[in-house]
Amino acid sequence: MSATAPKPKPTEPSLTSKLPYYQINPSYTVRVICCVVFIFLTEICLAHYIYRLIKSEINEDFIAKRDFHQEFMNEIRSGIAKEEIQRILRELEFFEHQNARANATRRRKRDAFVVDDDNLLNLPNDGPNVEFFDPKLRGELEAKDALERQKNGNKGAAPGGDSWVWLTSYCRIPVSC
């Protein structure tokens, strides 16, 4: 190519060519950057406004530590606080009285660990005895009763010199019952 030769014309972009939009319209890039900067500035302004709002709310609603004791004492000494405390104390007295009355009329619960002396076997007492045994021991018990009768002079082996009556294969009572 020589210096005097005509330069080739740059190709004009056609509407059907596949160029990115920012190359076709350079002002598009400027607009996008302006929008991003605007959004950023808006976020900063909103954050500052919210910070100031929260700070003012905190200053209005809360008491400093150094002033708390005095504010608390003023609140306790007020008439409304005294009435509220008296109301709470009256309610407590009412519930204590109600619980005491309910406990007095309530039936006493049975305790599984309390031993009733009347139900123990082979204890000497005035009433008739009922004895329960393993059915396999019946022969041994009858042999012991026979030895007891021989010692006592043909009196029974049951309390009071009575003899035993077997109600079932594992339960016996004295005849006098």
- Ranges of each domain in the chain: 21-61, 65-104, 129-174
- Residue appearing with tokens 């407590």: 92
Report the candidate in 120, 133, 162 with the shortest Cα–Cα distance to residue 145: 162
* pLDDT bracket for residue 151 (50, 70, 90): confident
In a 10 Å sphere around its CB, with 0-12 CB exposed, 13-18 middle and 19+ buried, how is residue 153 labelled? exposed
101 vs 116, higher pLDDT: 101
175 close to 163: Cβ distance less than 8 angstroms? yes
Q: Is 45 helix (H, G, I), strand (E, B) or coil?
A: helix
Tell me the pLDDT tens digit for each residue of 30-80: 888 999 999 999 999 999 999 998 888 777 667 778 888 888 888 888 888
